[in-house]
Amino acid sequence: MKNSFDLREHDTYLNIVDVAERLFAGVGFQKTTVADIAHELHMSPANVYRFFSSKAEINEAVGRRLLSEIETTVGDIVRQSDSARQRLREIVIAIREAFAQRLRSNRKLFELVETAFNENWPIVHEHVEKLDKSLGEVIAQGAREGEFHVSDPELAAMLVRSACLQFCHPRLMLEREQEPEPTVDQMIDFCLAALG
């Protein structure tokens, strides 16, 4: 069990991430400094550096939080009782909608996530692995129940994500905004047909 010192340390860590996210949403992550974050928390920059070795680490912590929201939504879909086909459709649509909602609600936080993808931050690799695992679980269950005819659900999950990348990658989403086709439903239908 954690002692009270550990809990205070954890609370301070979370407070730093909370404040950083709020400042990033207001002025952008590139314009926010560690001094800005420290000032908001009434602490010194040196104290912030006790918890984060660099500003980049703070950026990643906020990005990790934003991506984990998507992972939580996807995990909830995986646990539903709908057919594997329906859950696969809902997962891709949920990912696309999460990025679109972030873009509509706060462009500056969207830019943080977009930069994370463009620069291949470690949090993006973790995020993709979690999405592939979730897709793989649904595909494996669909294969067990005869909905899909695949021998390698892990590979099939990567292929589905790759085929739907334009709906699951912030920069690609922006680039394809003016192109009406293929729609997300058309791409999912294609993937479902390929899965059998």
The total of structural domains in the chain comes to 2
Tell me, yes or no, whether 128 and 172 share the same domain. Answer: yes
4 belongs to a structural domain: yes
Q: DSSP characters for the chain?
A: ---HHHHHHHHHHHHHHHHHHHHHHHH-TTT--HHHHHHHHTS-HHHHHHH-SSHHHHHHHHHHHHHHHHHHHHHHHHTS-S-HHHHHHHHHHHHHHHHHHHHHH-HHHHHHHHHHHHTT-HHHHHHHHHHHHHHHHHHHHHHHTTS---S-HHHHHHHHHHHTHHHH-HHHHHHTTT---S-HHHHHHHHHHHH-
Residue 148 domain boundaries: 63-195
For the segment 1-12, the average pLDDT, to the nearest whole number, is 69
* pLDDT at 172 (0 to 100): 87
pLDDT given at position 177: 75
If asked whether residues 39 and 71 sit together in one domain, one would say: no
Residue 171 belongs to a domain: yes
Q: Are residues 152 and 93 in the same domain?
A: yes
In one letter, which amino acid is 80? Q
For helices 122-144 and 153-163, give the axis angle rounded to 10 degrees: 120
Are both 98 and 34 inside the same structural domain?
A: no
Measured distance between the N- and C-terminal CA atoms of the chain, rounded to whole angstroms: 49
Whether 126 has a pLDDT exceeding 60, the answer reads yes
Task: Give the CATH number, domain containing residue 42.
Answer: 1.10.10.60
What average pLDDT does this structure show over 134-161? Answer: 96
* Whether 44 and 10 share a structural domain: yes
* Average pLDDT value for the chain: 93
Does residue 171 surpass a pLDDT of 90?
Answer: no
> Does 79 lie in the same domain as 41?
no
- At 66, is the pLDDT very low, low, confident or very high (cuts 50, 70, 90)? very high
- For residues 11 and 103, membership in a common domain is answered with no
Torsion of CA 163, 111, 63, 80, to 10 degrees: -40
Residue 9 is predicted with a pLDDT of: 81
- Average pLDDT value for residue range 44-57: 95
- pTM of the predicted model, to two decimals? 0.88
Q: Does 110 or 4 have the greater pLDDT score?
A: 110
Cβ burial of 35 (10 Å; 0-12, 13-18, 19+) is exposed
Does pLDDT of 5 surpass 60?
A: no
186 and 135 within one domain:
yes
188 and 105 both lie in a single domain = yes
Q: Are residues 76 and 109 in the same domain?
A: yes
Same domain, 81 and 177: yes
Tokens of 185: 């439903």
- Residue range 104-123: mean pLDDT, rounded: 95
Quick check: is 58 in a domain?
no
pLDDT for 7-31, tens place per residue?
788 789 999 999 999 999 999 999 9
Percentage of the residues of the chain whose pLDDT score is greater than 90: 82
pLDDT of residue 42: 94
